[in-house]
Structure formats: structure tokens, C-alpha cells
Structure 1
Amino acid sequence: MLTSNGYVLDDSPSRLARLEPTPMEERDDRDALWARLRRDGYLYLTGHLDPAEVLDFRRYYFQSLTPTGLVAEGSDPVEGIAADGDLDRGSYRRILFDDVVPGAEYQALCAAPRVADWFAWLLEDEVHLHKRKIIRHTKPGERGIGTATQAHYDLVYLREGSDRVLSMWIPLGDIPLERGGLAYLEGSHHRVMAQEAAGTLRRPAASMTADLPGLADEYDSRWLVTDYTAGDVMVHSAHIVHAGLDNVDAGGRMRLSTDIRYQRATEPIDWRWQEHWHDQDGL
């Protein structure tokens, strides 16, 4: 049983299916990738990054935040096992926003050759990485609306620049279904693009809903899910609707992921995304 913010997803074949990995024979074919991205709204690139480098950053993240009471005492930080006690929120915010987010380790991950050079190859241009890069963990058993990322599409938060921004969501460690990975609403980008073109979706930035099963019914579509492993990445358009699942990992392991955005440097850039991410930045 899969849930998101407590809502139980309909697991019938008309409402739930698996993400389709991009075939290896298409990985070096730019035209094939663009055709797939236009059709599906996403590229699921399994094994795109070196798993060891991804896990090294996972270890660094949880090791950095161990003094806050986030990680179970005596556990290996790379496992990301959540502690049972209270979190020192002041210390957590200071370390996350003053050390981790602007740090060299995070920048190196987000601008690694398999990321930056790959986007430059795909876009056939000089590329720009948005400075505002978001990294989040989710503890098992957390409940309440907003714990898991609610259904949304990225463009509502990026209206001051190009609408051709591409997002890359990177699982920082294995994220099987029970650990709460991203789910994508199949084909939703086509409807969103049509409504954007008609001007019917121009409203203040906001998530669409926490009710994923209701949204699937509204779109008459399926939520696409998978078991992500370290090294996988998702590249998606700014128009496809996606959301997070709840973390119900029985072993207490936290889900950790980051989402970053690249675009052609020659296209308009949303100025609001040119400062480091902070939970008080208004976006």
C-alpha cells in the first residue's frame, strides 16, 4: 500500500504503474532523448551517476547533521537511520543552511561532469545551474499534510525565467517504494502545457493538492513509481506533475534527495533562484 501525506494511492492498473527507464541504446542519441522527453515529460536514467560518489555525499550529509540529534547514536551515517529523540532545530538549521547547502561538497555533486556536461550535451549550449538547489530528508513515520511533497509542477515556482528549465531529481542513496520516492502523473505535462498556453493556470505559486488519488481521477491518469537506487536520476520538464510518497521504511532509514535545475544560459533566468536555498526564501 502506497501513501502520500496519508492518502492511499489507488493501485488499480488504470491508476498506478511503473516508470519506464530510458533504454541504454537511446542514452547517446540526443534526438531520441528529446523525443522521449517531449512524449513522457521525463527521462528515468538508471545508473547515470557513480553510486559511490552519491553515497559519499549521503554520508557527508548525515555526518554533518549528527550533532543535531537527527541520526541514531552509534549508527553509520551513510545508513541515515533516524534518531528517536528530539531534534536541536536551531543547530540543524545553522548546519544545513550555513554549511551544507552553500558547501563545496554539495556544489561538486550538483555540477559533476555527469550532470553539468550531460546537460550541456543535451541542450547543445552553454548551461546555467540555478544556485537555489534543494536538498531534503524525510524520516520514516512522519505524518501530516506537507510531510511528503504535494502534487505540483515546477514552472509555477519559476515564472520569472524560461519555461524550458529542466529539473534533475537525484536520489541520494537507495529509495525503494517504502522509503518514499517521487511519483509522476503520467502524461500530465501535455494538459499542463495546454492550460499554461491558454493562461488558465497563471496564479500564485502553490502546490496543486495533497490528494494524489483524487488528482489521478481528475486527470484520468496513472501515478508512475519505481524503486530508485543510488546512481539513478530523474530528468523532467517544468510542466509534468509530480509528488512525493510517504516514508514507511521499517528499518528507520531516512529518504534523502536533491532537486536541481539546469537551463540554457542564453535564455531568461529566474532571478529569484540565484541565491542559495533557505526555507525562509519565500519560494
Structure 2
Amino acid sequence: MHERFERDGYLFVKGCIPKKALLQCREAYFHHMTPSGLLKEGSNPIDGTFSHKDSRKFLPPGNLRRLFRLKDDEESEKYLDLMLSAHEAPFYLHYCETPELRAFITRFMNWEKPHMLQRTMIRAFVPNSELTPVHFDQMYLRAGPPTSIAAWVPIGDISLEAGGLMYLEKSTDIGQKTEADFAASAHNLSDEERVSALNKNMNDGGFLSRDIVAYGKEARRKWLIAEYEAGDVIFHNPWMMHASCKNKDPNDRIRLATDLRFVDPEKPYDNVSYVLDP
């Protein structure tokens, strides 16, 4: 596993955590979100069937909403309030403490007590909504060294059509070079601006590109995609270039997943909180 992680920049672990706990989290999340108008009326919350309202109303908080300069109406504000509050809800906090996940990281990273950064985000992408553009995590962790490991966890099954997380093949070197170029051009910035993914040297929204196909062609690397099942976890390093596909699920299911980032608290890490992670 270590050899694969070092070679590829990511590690896809099937059945890493109990499926039952994830499905309980999924059902609780969609119950929590029911007043927002997100779900099809009369549908079973655990299915996560989209209501077919304007998809942009249901973009997650953060850079995508900023990028499109969306103005929130009453329904959008209701959705955002519920989505943000879900991050503090008992069902999500309980899920974040999944012992099997922490046990795996403890063994894999040889960390005695892995610490989870509080910068998590539940990502609920409705069918035909915008996708997450190209980025790498260290862009959002510049206040510390690249010592974190990310765990991307699908909360429910995600078909190929539903467009889960995808990686640019063996792109650790691209992330490192890109960040080095940004650092070289940041000599005239204040410390606060330098560590921001939204500083004046970055693209709008803090992303590297919204044209994922063109980015892969220019880099001459393949985009790697996969199906995911509840219980799977995919880990990646802070430099790995990644994005998401557009959700084209044939059953109108909302794609639900979350990012968790872990560090060794005994070593330096970025402990600054941001609200505009991608």
C-alpha cells in the first residue's frame, strides 16, 4: 500500500469502513435537508432523489458560489443554513469519529493519534450541477508544511455516471511545480495573502482550471475515474491534482461525499481555518 501511495499519489481502499454507518449518515443527512426543497417530494430520503429545481440553488458553500457570483434567494439561504448546520449535527460528528477509519490511518501513516482538521465539507452535488474544478489540497493548506493526508469518503454508492472524484494520473509532480511557481510569484504579498488560495496570483475562485479535459490534455496525463460503493475510502497526498465529474446519474440521485483531512499533531501542520475550501 505504501508503494502504491508513493507511486500513484493516492490509495483506493475498498470496504475500508462499515457500510451500515455510512448509510445511517446518508439517511440522517437527507432527513436534515428535507426542508430545503432539495429532495423529490414523497421520495425516500436515503435514496437522495433530486427535486429537479434550479441546480445552482444547491451548490455547496464556498468557491463555486463565489465563482458564479450567485445571489441567494430565500430558498437558497434555507439550503445553505441547513447544509452548514449539518456539519455540526450529531449524525455527522459521530460519522467523523468512525473508529475503523482512524485505525487505518494510524496503521498506514504510523501516527499514534491522528488529528482530523476541522475543515471538512459535506459535498452534495445534484444532477447536472457544476463540477469541482481542478485543484490540489496544499493550495488551501499553505499556512503549514504538506504533512496532511486526505480521505475522500462517498456517503452511499456512486456510479460512473454520477461522477465521483477523479485524479490526474501520477500528478504529484505537477502539484509541486505549480505550488513552487505560485510561491515564486508571491514575494510581494503579505503573509496573509501568501497563504490564501484566493490571492491575486490565483485564478478566479482559487481553482487551477474549470476545463478539466483541456487541463489533462495540456499536462499529457489521463484522468482516472471509478465507481464507488458505500464503505470505500480513497486517500491522497496534498499535491495530487483532482476534480470531480458532472453528476449524470440516470436515477437522479444526489452524489453525497465528504472530505476529511488528517495530520500528525506531533508535527507541524496548517491549523488555520478557512471557509472557502473548494
Q: TM-score, normalised by structure 2?
A: 0.81
Describe the superposition over 1:34-80 as per-residue Cα deviations: whole angstroms up to 9, x where unpaired. 22111000000011111121111111111111011111111110100
Percent identity of the aligned residues? 32
User: Could you say what secondary structure the match of 2:272 adopts?
Assistant: helix
Q: Map of 1:1-283 to 2, 5 A cutoff?
A: 33-85=1-53, 88-98=75-85, 100-125=86-111, 126-142=113-129, 147-194=130-177, 196=179, 199-202=180-183, 204-205=196-197, 206-273=206-273, 281-283=275-277
Contact 2:157/2:228 (CA < 8 Å) preserved in 1? yes
Contact 2:15/2:232 (CA < 8 Å) preserved in 1? yes
Contact 1:216/1:223 (CA < 8 Å) preserved in 2? yes
Stretches of structure 2 lacking an aligned partner (at least 5 in a row): 58-74, 187-195, 198-205
Task: Give the whole-Å Cα distance in 1 for the aligned partners of 2:249 and 2:234.
Answer: 22
Q: CA deviation at 1:194?
A: 4.6
Task: Give the whole-Å Cα distance in 1 for the aligned partners of 2:170 and 2:40.
Answer: 40
Task: Give the whole-Å Cα distance in 2 for the aligned partners of 1:37 and 1:181.
Answer: 20
Task: Give the whole-Å Cα distance in 2 for the aligned partners of 1:94 and 1:194.
Answer: 38
Stretches of structure 1 lacking an aligned partner (at least 5 in a row): 1-32
Q: CA deviation at 1:225?
A: 0.5
Moved more, 248-257 or 121-130: 121-130
Contact 2:147/2:269 (CA < 8 Å) preserved in 1? no
Task: Give the whole-Å Cα distance in 2 for the aligned partners of 1:214 and 1:63.
Answer: 39
Contact 2:146/2:269 (CA < 8 Å) preserved in 1? no
Q: CA deviation at 1:89?
A: 2.0
Q: CA deviation at 1:90?
A: 2.4
Task: Give the whole-Å Cα distance in 2 for the aligned partners of 1:282 and 1:71.
Answer: 25
Aligned AA (1:102): E
Contact 1:162/1:267 (CA < 8 Å) preserved in 2? no
User: Could you say what secondary structure the match of 2:181 adopts?
Assistant: coil
Aligned in 2, Cα 1:85/1:213: closer, same or farther, shift over 3 Å?
Answer: closer
User: Could you say what secondary structure the match of 1:262 adopts?
Assistant: strand
Contact 2:147/2:268 (CA < 8 Å) preserved in 1? no
Task: Give the whole-Å Cα distance in 2 for the aligned partners of 1:163 and 1:141.
Answer: 34
Task: Give the whole-Å Cα distance in 1 for the aligned partners of 2:211 and 2:52.
Answer: 29
